[in-house]
Amino acid sequence: MVSLKTEIGSISLERPGIVASGIMDETGPSMVRMIESGAGAVVTKSVGLEPNAGHANPCFTEVSGGYVNAMGLPNPGIELFKEEMDVAVPKGKIVGSIYGAGPEDFSKLAGRMEDYGACAVELNLSCPHAKGYGMEVGTDPAMVKAIVSAVKSAVSIPVWAKLTPNTHILGDIGMAVQDAGGDAVVAINTLKAMVICPEIGRPLLSNKFGGLSGAAVKPVGVRAVYDLRTVLDIPIVGVGGIETWRDAAEYIMAGASAFQVGSAIGTVGTDVFARINDGLSSFMEEYGYSSIADMTGVAHD
């Protein structure tokens, strides 16, 4: 019998697909809808200490193979986000994504997410275009170590770190997470990108730069997970361009114990998790894999 159950350290999921931060996870009802659509868990949109309006429009555009966005981390702030968590937490496993400028911000936010009933926190160390946040703190291994250590001391729920592909020292950053006691790494966040509108002769997005997501980034993500698996012992959650069961299988074979889907909720629809679950089960049945753990990392020799 094939089982889609999986473990990310101490967290058990009935199904291996998780909603990635940033899409259908800004509100309690949207998170509930995704749990009911076959997701094994949902990661919230990243939340900070204070309410944040985000960037002016245009902040989102479609490109070949994906989307480029610079929303600007819009969120109601951790205080108000309790209302959304109160709706979502009774219905499924919710991972609280948080962003901050350093160890103190992240620790405070993680403590609140734990109080709200999050099953884990995901540290956004990887937004590609936020001044003083995201990738700016997440590409310095010493800073990453300090943030993860501080959060580990502040909470007892598992701590996941979402990493950026916009670096040549991904392995060092992953090691910093592991050395600091991090429970898992999540790879990858979006690739720093730009779209120029020829008619206006200017970058299209109000923020000029944004993050590329969707099918175009999948081979980068698979490579990143493969590289991380060669140096890390902690679990990896794969994310980036997954639309079908084949994409999910690639990430699992590269070394992921679970995977996240973001852009494909837009391009395929909210039934993307149900489709991936069906396809994965059939593939595993046919090719003799009895569990996700059985398939994890098989691409390494």
Q: Is 119 a catalytic residue?
A: no
Measured from the CB atom, the residue of 72 and 92 that comes closer to ligand DHB is: 72
Residues 13-52 that bind ligand DHB (CB under 6 A): none
Give the other-Cβ count within 10 Å of 17's Cβ.
28
User: Closest distance between ligand DHB and the C-beta of residue 293, in Å?
Assistant: 29
Residues 177-236 that bind ligand DHB (CB under 6 A): 189-190, 211
Measured from the CB atom, the residue of 212 and 272 that comes closer to ligand DHB is: 212
Residues 247-276 that bind ligand DHB (CB under 6 A): none
User: Closest distance between ligand DHB and the C-beta of residue 18, in Å?
Assistant: 15
Residue pointed to by tokens 């069961």: 245
Among residues 48, 66, 72, 221, the one that binds ligand DHB under rule CB under 6 A:
72
CB 77 within 8 A of CB 111: no
Strand residue runs (E) in 33-93: 41-43, 60-63, 66-69
User: Closest distance between ligand DHB and the C-beta of residue 124, in Å?
Assistant: 5
Measured from the CB atom, the residue of 134 and 297 that comes closer to ligand DHB is: 134
Residues 107-166 that bind ligand DHB (CB under 6 A): 124, 126-128, 134
CB-nearest residue to ligand DHB: 127
Q: What is the pairing mode between strands 11-13 and 6-8?
A: antiparallel
Q: State the catalytic residues.
A: 127
By CB under 6 A, name the binding residues for ligand DHB.
69-73, 124, 126-128, 134, 189-190, 211
